[in-house]
Structure 1
Amino acid sequence: MTSATHPEVAALLDRAHRIGSDPRNTNYAGGNASAKGAETDPVTGQETELLWVKGSGGDLGTLTEAGLAVLRLDRVRALKDVYPGAGREDEMVQAFDYCLHGKGGAAPSIDTAMHALVEAAHVDHLHPDSGIALACAADGEKLTAECFGGKVAWVDWHRPGFQLGLDIAAVKEARPGAVGVVLGGHGITAWGDSSEECERNALWMIRTAEAFLAERGRPEPFGAVIAGRRTPGEQERRERAAALAPVIRSLASADRPQVGHFTDAEPVLDFLSRTEHPRLAALGTSCPDHFLRTKVRPLVLDLPADVPLDEAVARLRVLHEEYRQEYRAYYERHAVPGSPAMRGADPAVVLVPGIGMFTFGKDKQTARVAGEFYLNAINVMRGAEAVSSYAPIEESEKFRIEYWELEEAKLRRMPEPKPLATRVALVTGAGSGIGRAVARRLVAEGACVVVADLDAGNAAAVAEELGGPDKAVAVTVDVTSEEQITEAFRAAALAFGGVDLVVNNAGISVSKPLLETTAADWDLQHDIMARGSFLVSREAARMMRAQGLGGDIVYVVSKNAVFAGPQNIAYSATKADQAHQVRLLAAELGEHGIRVNGVNPDGVVRGSGIFASGWGAQRAAAYGIEEEQLGEFYARRTLLKREVLPEHVANAVFALTGGDLTHTTGLHVPVDAGVAAAFLR
């Protein structure tokens, strides 16, 4: 907060952070808050009434001053005189641009009129589950009166915009004792003459609604538990979810690739165990923020959790095709000339009784938020069914929101996706050195990454460095263990929906003359790199084939795969094994769209875990130099006279997977600054 921040803005931001930090009050990026106040106009020197309101797409809990739209209040209110009516109210959003103060801050949202037209210094518009439950109850207006008495009014459903702002302002004027309104099918709006009063009124409405639903609500609003249905225990449930996730992700990605998210939260499992869940799920969500991210309704598997896996998969494929046909029919029922093109017919939410909920989006955060929103929807359904019956807005109104030109314009303003957006990578040995550099580059290019390493602490540190669970997750893996590799891929499936890109990087090096190399040395070297990369690639191929989305497997091999150096029999032989695995797997997996390539680094000393673990000293001794001279020594013997760093290897991995080499497989890319003896022939 700078000293130049207006006091009303400071109060607004503090209030937004408190309200937005509690999911009972509003969902992520949902709702908005505003403040009005006077500031000197630098042009006229006169005091001017301003409106500060959360801009389009922002989040209350993390709102900053830069995220506020700043408008001249007199000009926004003057728009009432030129308002052409509800049939053309979208035009008013463009008119907000002519009301901005100075550069105007963030882009004004569709709800700006609500905040400007209501005669109150502070206004909060929120989407609490308890408030939406009343808003989506069949007799919501009656229940609102019973819940709040005369202190809260009811406003019939109207799509967010200028008309809704006029409607709320009219209620506020007609009901001077009211502290807020329930918006039919939508949420709540509260106000106050100060920030403290506004916050107090908003929280009073939310907590009063919660208490009303709890006290008046009937038990088991979702019906009885379905007879004969079993919810598996956590371990069994998660193994089943991991097996289903790649298949479901492939279905959700029929039109465009998606990243997945899974939750088996208790409210989800309870909802899916009850007799009424098919009826309620078919009604879809209601709050505009919800179904913009969850689509008009979810796909629901209509089989118990204990059917054979192949039976569940077959049924999901049938239901997916039916869903796509129904979604297209929904679009065609409501599209009018000028409607945006259909964005895709795949579900964003897939519900599997006994197992949990799979959600999808253009990145992990979007997929996770879709799941959070559907959990909000479950809470809304529970509340509405407890005191009445759940009655969301009409399907035609949902379509008007989902395919709103203003939403389409928001999508067009988004930046172009990065080259590896929607791709999920698993990198072995990613806790340090080359693996860490590869993971960093893949995340920077838009991928989600599973950081796999034998050292759990290193893996966790790298995952946190890369941005945490929306970007990267850590798994502990000994690549000689089939069980740990399987668990790593299960973790990837549960975290992101599957795996598209695998980098075999884990390794050690035993550098000894032939006569000093023991059978144990040989076996250890081959177990970790030859056997380990085989096991990882086999599990990767299994998951990639289940997804049907193609994929990439990259081996970090070595110049030593083709160059005969001294005192290095175990390491170099293992690298030759890996190099031929690249060729063999490229030949076998090509028909499934899976490309297999390798990179051959050399002399990666700085930042290397292998060199730091003693191999550097061994190699320096073999060449008769000091260990600290090793990087320089390797650089001098290259054609380019340049030292190779982990980042240079990461660059090669990205070059092979980033989209430009789509027709390349079975290739080895040298990353050695030019070692003529290792030229590929």
Structure 2
Amino acid sequence: MRSGFPLSAVVAELADRDGVVLAHHGLVTWANDSETCLERTLDAVARATSFIDANRVAPSAPPRHDDIPADDLDRLLLALRGAVSRSRPRVLSIDPELRTLADRTDLADLVDAGVSSADHMLRMKPRALALPDHDPMTAASAVAAYASEYRAYVDRNVELLPDDYRPHDPYPRVILVPGLGAISTGVNSQDAAMASEIAHHSVTVAAAVADAFGPPEPIDDRETFRFDYWPLELFKLSLKPQEPLFAGHVFIVTGAASGIGRGIAMDLATKGASLVLADLDLEGMADVAQTLTTAGLPEPAIAPGDQSDPDVVAATMHAAIRAFGGIDGVVLNAGIGMTGTLEELTLDQWNSTLRINLSSAFLLTQASMRAMREQGRGGSLVYIASKNAFGPGAAFGAYSVSKAGMVQLMRIAALEGGAAGIRANAVNPDAVFDNSRLWDGGLREERAAAHGIKPEELEDFYASRNLLHRRVTTTDVAQTVSFLLSEQSSRTTGSVIPVDGGVAAAFPR
């Protein structure tokens, strides 16, 4: 019996009692004051706990599954994220607190018992999914079977679906894995963690029942559906704010501690994205992370180090997979400026510029494409090149060559990734000064001298030479990146978008 008038009529006849226990729902107590009501609740819970403990059959030690090897776990997470994100992207979160439950031999029975309260269905569906092992193919097939069964369950009970409501996403919110614990899903890590916490309560209740009285008995299919699509519970969902543009999406942003990278990270986070910040500047990334969390935005993962180091790139990708389950897009922004004529540049300066600006982009492109292909849901690579890729400047040769190479790298990524749904595009900004450290270390002074102006006049000089006579800001670049990462550009790959105010010499060609 669900909450409502029929239940109130029954309770009206029980005024002399302390409360009622609703099977498969919960405990309701009453009194003339809240303190007494709480005491009655605690007393009822204590008596129930004592009764269960008195009847508990001490279970044998649970089988100890081996820990899942790191590489195997990454592959499992990618397979699961691809499988549960068929209708919309989801972030994954690992909860080792459920390891003891996930390792039990009767795990399937515990999961089949369903949730312990109708409220729990809002967060984790009528039941979790139990995997037999950590094989990625087995896991993907299990998710597909779960979704197929959920659709069949809806079809069996469709006449009970309230008017003007559509069936829920059919994919599991909580997946129990022997040797690991739980993998939960959500629009961000906090949402996923909530589902995991609720699963912990539900499965723990089922385990307590099983240990005292035998396999728990779930409510029948139709009654489950009535709870699953109970208008009172559905109304709660309608009160949730509309999901932001990038809810459930995971992006890596390199060079995220300052300048263009920082601006991009801030913009994507405000649109709901889960981020991995990558940069050499750990203090700067920590500041970005604190700014985001203070604003109530999802906490980003941090990947410090030089992205031209293959080990650092591997660690960055590992951070994305472990923190959020996979990857949807990468903003390849890390880079340095290097001045000097071809006659003046040393080989070390030349190699350093190409390594940091181009080789790092190659390494992260390679790692990202491999992960995206394994995940099986495509992705978007956005390269922050430069106006100099098409309109190079004298005494800026190493930088200009590295950015031209980045554009060509982008085109090859588009050619090779298209069949897997992986898009690649470039943004060519010009002279972005706000919050940028690119101009530190004398670069501003050197470029000003090359143009015969004072250093403090450089920003206005760059604005005056473009067709729109406008300064270019990090916000301008971030909005273009957002477009290229979103479904709004789902039919765009291999393109270059200038964000330079209109520099005729740098028109893409």
Scaled by the length of structure 2, the TM-score of the pair is 0.91
Task: Work out whether residues 261 and 371 of structure 1, in 8 Å CA contact, stay in contact via their aligned partners in 2.
Answer: no
Q: Find the counterpart in structure 2 of residue 317 from structure 1.
A: 140
Equivalent residue for 2:490, pick from 644, 662, 669: 662
Q: 2:2 aligns with which of 159, 163, 176?
A: 159
Distance in 1 (CA, whole Å) between partners of 2:9 and 2:287 is 52
1:387 aligns with 2:212: yes
Choose from 257, 260, 282 the match for 2:91: 260
Gaps (5+ residues) in structure 1? 1-157, 306-311
Task: Mark the CA change 1:614 to 1:169 in structure 2 (over 3 Å): closer, same or farther.
Answer: farther
Higher relative contact order (CA 8 A, sep 6+): 2
> Are the structure 2 counterparts of residues 426 and 333 from structure 1 closer, same or farther at C-alpha, using a change threshold of 3 Å?
same
Does the aligned pair in 1 maintain the 2:113–2:206 contact within 8 Å? Answer: no
What letter matches 2:125 in structure 1?
K
Partner of 2:100: 270
- Which letter does structure 2 place at the counterpart of 1:472? P
Output the CA distance in 1 between the equivalents of 2:262 and 2:51: 53
Q: Is the 8 A contact 1:363 1:422 kept in 2?
A: yes
Which residue of the partner structure matches residue 158 of structure 2? 335
The answer as to 2:65 corresponding to 1:230 is yes
Instruction: Provide the secondary structure at the position in 2 that maps to 1:563.
Output: coil
- State how 1:453-602 maps to structure 2 within 5 Å: 453-467=279-293, 470-602=298-430
Q: Is the 8 A contact 1:558 1:599 kept in 2?
A: yes
Structure 1 residue 358 corresponds to structure 2 residue 201? no
CA distance 1:517–1:423, shift in 2 (3 Å): same
Q: 1:174: which partner in 2?
A: 16
Deviation at 1:606, TM superposition (A): 1.9
Preserved contact between residue 605 and residue 630 of structure 1 (Cα < 8 Å):
no
Structure-1 separation of matches of 2:205 and 2:407: 56
User: Who is 1:135 aligned against?
Assistant: none
- Report the secondary structure of 1:660's partner residue: helix
- Alignment partner, residue 185 of structure 1: 24
1:434-486 CA-to-partner distances (Å, cap 9, x unmatched) read 11111111122232222222222222321232236835332223201222222
Measured after TM superposition, the shift of residue 499 of structure 1 is 0.8
- Is the 2:154–2:167 Cα contact (8 Å) retained in structure 1? yes
1:638 to 1:501, Cα distance in 2 relative to 1, 3 A: same
CA RMSD of aligned residues (A): 2.5
Q: CA deviation at 1:343?
A: 2.7
Matches of 1:593 and 1:359 in 2, distance apart? 25
Taking structure 1 as reference, are residues 533 and 395 closer, same or farther at Cα in structure 2, changes over 3 Å only? same
**Aligned residue in 2 for 1:241:** 73
Q: CA, structure 1 residues 470+239, in 2 after alignment: closer, same or farther (shift >3 Å)?
A: farther
1:563 is aligned with what amino acid?
A: G
Contact between 2:382 and 2:426, CA under 8 Å: does it hold in 1?
Answer: yes
Structure 2 equivalent of residue 345 of structure 1: 170
Mapped contact 1:463–1:469 kept (Cα < 8 A):
no
For residues 475-522 of structure 1, what are the alpha-carbon distances to aligned partners after superposition, in whole Å with 9 as ceiling and x for unaligned?
Answer: 223201222222222221222221111100111112223233211111
What are the residue-to-residue correspondences of 1:295-310 with 2, within 5 Å?
295-303=125-133, 305=134
Residue equivalent to 1:371: 196
Q: How does 1:12-161 map to 2 (within 5 A)?
A: 158-161=1-4
Three-state SS of the structure 2 residue aligned to 1:582 is helix
CA offset digits 1:97-117 (Å, max 9, x no partner): xxxxxxxxxxxxxxxxxxxxx
The answer as to 2:267 corresponding to 1:441 is yes
Q: Could you tell me how far 1:299 is from its partner in structure 2?
A: 2.4
Identify which of 248, 251, 257 aligns with 1:431: 257
Q: Which amino acid aligns with 1:240?
A: D
Deviations 1:230-255 (A, max 9, x none): 321xxx5554332211211111123x
The change in CA–CA distance for 1:379 and 1:524 in structure 2 (over 3 A counts) is same
Give the letter for the 1:287 counterpart: S
Q: Once structures 1 and 2 are overlaid, which stretch shifts more, 405-414 or 549-558? A: 405-414
The AA in structure 2 aligned to 1:575 is: K
- Output the amino acid matched with 2:204: N
- For the 8 Å contact 1:261–1:495, the answer to whether it is kept is yes
Seen in structure 2, the aligned counterparts of structure 1 residues 213 and 519 have a Cα distance that, compared at 3 Å, is farther
Query: Aligned equivalents of 2:13 and 2:312: distance in 1?
Result: 63
* Structure 1 residues 214 and 452, CA gap change in structure 2 (3 angstroms): farther
Deviations 1:256-277 (A, max 9, x none): 12312222424x1111222111
TM-score by length of 1: 0.69
8 Å CA contact 2:339–2:446 kept in 1: the answer is: yes
**Contact 1:464/1:472, CA 8 A, preserved across alignment:** no
CA distance in 2, matches of 1:368, 1:388: 30
Structure 2: runs of 5 or more not aligned = none
Q: Secondary structure at the match of 2:439?
A: helix
Aligned AA (2:412): L
Task: Return the alpha-carbon distance in structure 1 between the equivalents of residues 319 and 428 of structure 2.
Answer: 29
Q: Secondary structure at the match of 2:244?
A: coil
